[in-house]
Amino acid sequence: MTDMRTPLKKVRGLGSAHEGTDHFWRQRLTAIANVPLTLFFVGLLVSLNGADYAQVRAVLANPFVALILIAMLLSALYHMRLGMQVIIEDYVHGEGGKLVLLMLNTFFTIAVGVASVFALLKLAFGG
Amino acid sequence: MSKIPATQARPLSPHLTIYKPPITMTTSILHRITGGALYFGTLLVAWWLIAAATTESHFNFVNWIFGSWIGRLVLFGYTWALMLHMLGGIRHLIWDTGAGLEKHTASKIAWATVVGSVVLTLAIWIVGYMVRGA
């Protein structure tokens, strides 16, 4: 039977996952943000090579550095959560195991993010 | 009707046992593996930040671990994984525009990401040691 649906009707369901190109778009958006943000982080680590406790704390407490690093963490963690979701969906076919791993993926990402951002805020606000 | 002897070698379609993996296949696999490594490597980033936000002895302990030969090896690998994944990602962004998908062009870009990642990793570490020496 010929498909009588209009292109608009087809796109309204947003595909089998009902999320359209959202995953793809966010993955690309964070990928582009990650390039300058992680390069800044790598540059910062290179400049801090051999620095002692007090020096590292002073640099991380700098508002500009802290804000860029928080932005990097949010963008990179969101990006890697999307990536790990695809890996899980590709290789884990049992529904139960897949759901558990997808949950752990989100928990891991949030745990790393919350701990790292808290550490940076503590330093920034004079911890 | 003449019977073809069963011992005669029959032609086979190409499959995994005789398949020479093209570089684009290797970089595709590496992109996923490095992505997974970077995922768990964020624990090292979090550990370092937490150490800096806590006590000096904790920070010195983390610095000592990261500065040991095995620590440096892991961080060197982590740098390379990040560079390869970054260049591979930029390659994907180029592909998203529809450019660079021709077979030979794609192979050249794939080799460029491999060579580029090694060059960038070495550059980062050389500059890092120069900073330390200065």
Nearest Cβ partner of B49 from A32, A38, A119? A119
Residues B53-77 have pLDDT tens digits of: 999 999 999 999 999 999 999 999 9
Residue B1 predicted with pLDDT over 60:
no
Residue B57 lies in a domain: yes
Quote the number of domains for chain B.
Answer: 1
Q: Per-residue confidence at B11, pLDDT binned at 50, 70, 90?
A: confident
**pLDDT score of B102 more than 60:** yes
Quick one: tokens of A79?
């990006």
Dihedral sign, CA of A68, A70, A73, A75? negative
Domain that holds residue B122: 23-133
Give CA–CA dist B96/A65, Å, rounded. Answer: 32
Which of A:5-24 have CB within 8 Å of B? Answer: none
The kind and range of the H/E element at A70 are: helix A63-91
Residue B4: the pLDDT is 62
Task: Check residues B16 and B109 and name the one with the higher pLDDT.
Answer: B109
Structure-model confidence comparison of residues A9 and B32, the more confident one: B32
**A92-96, B5-9, B88-92, B110-114: the lowest-pLDDT one:** B5-9
User: CB atoms < 10 A from the CB of A10, how many?
Assistant: 11
What ipTM is given for this predicted complex? 0.88
How distant is the Cα of B78 from the closest Cα of chain A, in angstroms?
11
B103 near A CB under 8 A: no
Asked whether the beta carbons of residue A53 and residue B59 sit closer than 8 angstroms, the reply is yes
Residues B110-118: what's their mean pLDDT?
A: 98
| Domain-located, residue B8 | no
Where do the domains of chain A lie?
Answer: 21-124
What pLDDT does B125 receive?
A: 97
Question: In angstroms, how far is CA B18 from the centroid of its own chain?
Answer: 25
Q: Nearest CA to A38 among B117, B37, B79, B94? A: B79
Cα A95–A99–A105 angle (5° rounding)?
A: 145
In CATH, A21-124 is 1.20.1300.10: yes
**A83: contact with B, CB 8 A cutoff:** yes
d(CA B109, CA B27) in angstroms, rounded, equals: 10
**Closest CB from B52, B56, B79 relative to A119:** B52
Cut 0.95: pTM above it: no
Which residue bears the tokens 């982080």? A41
Residue B2 in domain: no
Q: Compute the average pLDDT of residues B78-105.
A: 97
Q: Nearest residue of B to residue A59 by CA position?
A: B52
pLDDT reported for residue B2: 64
Picking from B28, B39, B86, B87 by the largest number of A CB atoms within 10 A of its own CB, the best residue to mutate is: B39
Flag whether residue A122 sits within 8 Å of chain B, measured between CB atoms: yes
Taking the alpha carbons at both ends of chain A, their separation in whole angstroms is 68
Segments of chain A scoring below 70 in pLDDT: 1, 127
Q: Which residue of B has its CA nearest to A41?
A: B45
Asked if the structure places residue B9 within a domain, the reply is no
Mutation target for B interface from A42, A73, A114: give the one with most B CBs within 10 A: A42
Residue A123: predicted pLDDT: 97
Q: What is the pLDDT of residue B132?
A: 83
Contacts of A59 in chain B (CB under 8 A): none
Which one is predicted more confidently, B17 or A33? A33
Check the annotation: does B85 bind a ligand: yes
CATH of the domain at B56: 1.20.1300.10
**Count of A-B CB contacts under 8 Å:** 79
Q: What is the pLDDT of residue B5?
A: 62
In a domain, B112, yes or no: yes
Q: How far apart are CA A106 and CA A114, in angstroms?
A: 12
Report helix, strand or coil for A1.
coil
Lowest-confidence region among A11-15, B42-46, B95-99, B129-133: A11-15
Mean pLDDT of B122-126: 97
